[in-house]
Amino acid sequence: MKQTSFILRKTADGSDTLFSSEMDESYHSVNGAAQESRHVFIEAGLHQMNKKILKVFEVGFGTGLNALLTWEDAHKNNLQIEYDAIEAYPVSKDVIKTLNYRDFTPELPSDAYLKLHDTEWEIPTVLEDIRFTLLKIPGDFTDYTFNQTYDLVYFDAFAPDKQAEMWDERLFLKLFHALNNQGILVTYCAKGEVRRRMQRAGFQVERIPGPPGKREMLRAIKSISQKEIDSYGQQDQNKE
């Protein structure tokens, strides 16, 4: 797996982030790393799911902050979550130890953040009874093939002007097919072209208020009719 170099930076809410010298960009908003992650992925994504058992897929595991906050929410709200995340540039354990995210997840044990990163890659690991299971997938999402479906997608790649290949329309089409009906995709990005690509992939896309320092973000929903579901089923039968 590829490695990269980082600079530790403090954000406005006191939580840390990393600046990637390779991407020339921070992993999180300087207006608040923990605040941004909670707003974009927990409140606008996880809290919109009307179910207690769900599967989450994250594009860009990064520092693991989104996974940690999701684990905490599962703990607080008695959810059962299978959390799969793909990452091409894993952050080293030495760097992880410098981040202060344990201070922002008081509901979890003090060693929870390190446990998250101690899990083996490619092996599903139960981190808290049945509440939270983590699978870290090493690799490039542009080449990834799904073998299951999900209820919720956290799309947390670097910005389109830094990592353009991750925002390609064909990848949103791939995510559309990987989502269950009424599944949700959330991202901090609100660019018009990104919204249009999601729409062309089949999503119903809405602009919603963004986290502090960002006016808007995008939430995309896979919503297909029973007629369309039946049509897909018929197509699958014809292939057999």
Domains in the chain, please, with CATH? 6-239 (3.40.50.150)
For residue 72, which of 44, 98, 34, 99 has the smallest C-alpha distance?
34
Distance CA 101, CA 97 (A): 10
C-beta contacts of 111-115 below 8 A and 24+ residues apart? 112/68, 112/71, 112/72, 113/64, 113/68
Distance CA 55, CA 148 (A): 10
The alpha carbon of 93 is separated from its chain's Cα centroid by a whole number of angstroms, namely: 20
pTM of the predicted model, to two decimals? 0.92
Q: What tens-digit pLDDT sequence spans the chain (240 residues)?
A: 455 678 999 999 999 999 988 888 999 999 999 999 999 999 999 999 999 999 999 999 999 999 999 999 999 999 999 999 999 989 999 999 999 999 999 999 999 999 999 999 999 999 988 799 999 999 999 999 999 999 999 999 999 999 999 999 999 999 999 999 999 999 999 999 999 999 999 999 999 999 999 999 999 999 986 556 556 555 555 555
Return the biggest CA–CA distance within the chain: 56
Q: Which two tokens stand for residue 115?
A: 């446990």
Q: What is the pLDDT of residue 24?
A: 85
Distance CA 68, CA 43 (A): 14
Q: What is the pLDDT of residue 23?
A: 83
Q: What is the pLDDT of residue 227?
A: 54
